[in-house]
Amino acid sequence: MSLLPDIKVLDLTRVLAGPWCTQILADYGATVIKIEKPGVGDDTRHWGPPYAKDADGNLTSEAAYYLSANRGKQSVTLDFSRPEGAALLRRMVEQADVLIENYKVGSLKKYGLDYEALAQLNPRLIYCSVTGFGQSGPYASRPGYDFAIQAVGGLMSITGERDGLPGAGPQKVGVAVVDLTTGMYACTAILAALANRERTGLGRYIDVALLDVQVAMLANAGMNYLVSETVPKRWGNAHANIVPYQAFQTGEGDIVVAVGNDSQFASFCRVLGRPEWSRDQRFARNPARVKHRELLVSMIGACLQDWRGPELAEALEAAGVPCGPINNLAQVFADPQVQARAMRVDVAHPSAGSVPQVRHPVRFSGDATAPMLAPPTLGQHTDAVLASMLGLTPQDIDALREQGLV
């Protein structure tokens, strides 16, 4: 039995933050109905290459970006910008538990699809709006994109190589981390609202903003600033508060060393054959190591030239020192631990034969996961959903299709 078998979600989101949220809900067993514009669909359907290939090796129209965030959903094409389409969507809302949208602030009101209107139809509805800057404030009307939010929200100011070193300068993170984290925050908020509804019988309005999430996820870096009032700087692959906690070059291959306490540092020194370093007052305690960072890092770097990365990683792991090679994605999916955890799953797809998916990372005891279904093709479930939810006949749906509504 999946965790959310009776929860019905109307997904009016595109691109990543919203779809990431609803994909998690689908993984937990909710019925997620993705509402898409006829003939166009989610923007990311066209964000390729790469595209999935069919069994004969021919390219399909299924973009990898879209496939990353839409598994387990049902796709319904519906033009709710027209009054007839909006009326159909309102009928679906009457049966829904959750509606999530990521349109510009206030833009759904003109279709009668804002929270105030829909809550009158369904007081139990949980309505979640995902925007760049939230429903209030001077930036509320601005569109929000992950890259820009990483800049405005400070993440890029602390990401990238240190000033004065080769390659220095602000950097974005390699994936749209603000979108992804916003999707997770939105999901947890929806789950909390569903739990609250069990007690009160009433839904909630949820306002989730990418900028708010970005500021919140500054975490210790944000708190370092608030406590010290000193603007943090970029540390590249090093850590502002812990040494040694960074990437190093060995004689063969790069490795990350993440020494988290003084005991681990002593073990690290023993592996390197330099036990005296852990007794040196300049390095014995972490605050001293931070103070003498440049000297210690240069000493470690010189010592590691005598090691091969894989051999050093094996020795450090045996000594209980956190470390790891810097893998590319081919190495990640070939890693025995990743394979043992079955993080790649291939699922049947109506046009590609099968498509790979990265499985949901959370595991529950018992039979709690929904069957993994491929991301839907555009409009794949339109007829079935309109028939089951609204009682429309094939003739009714054909008439809607002739009008371009579905």
Active-site residue list: 179
Contact 310, 253 (CB under 8 A): yes
Relative to beta strand 254-258, strand 323-325 is antiparallel
Relative to beta strand 344-349, strand 353-358 is antiparallel
Relative to beta strand 245-249, strand 59-63 is unpaired
H or E element at residue 35: strand 31-36
Burial 100-118 (b: 16+ CB within 10 A, else e): bbbbebeebeebbbbbeeb
Contact 151, 222 (CB under 8 A): no
Rounded Cα distance between 87 and 93, Å, is: 10
Q: What is the DSSP string of 158-213?
A: GSSBPTTSTTBS----SS-HHHHHHHHHHHHHHHHHHHHHHHHS---EEEEEHHHH
* Phi, psi angle pair for 339, to nearest 5°: -70, -40
Cβ neighbours of residue 361 closer than 8 Å, sequence gap 6 or more: 343
Q: What SS3 class is residue 9?
A: strand
Rounded Cα distance between 210 and 168, Å, is: 26
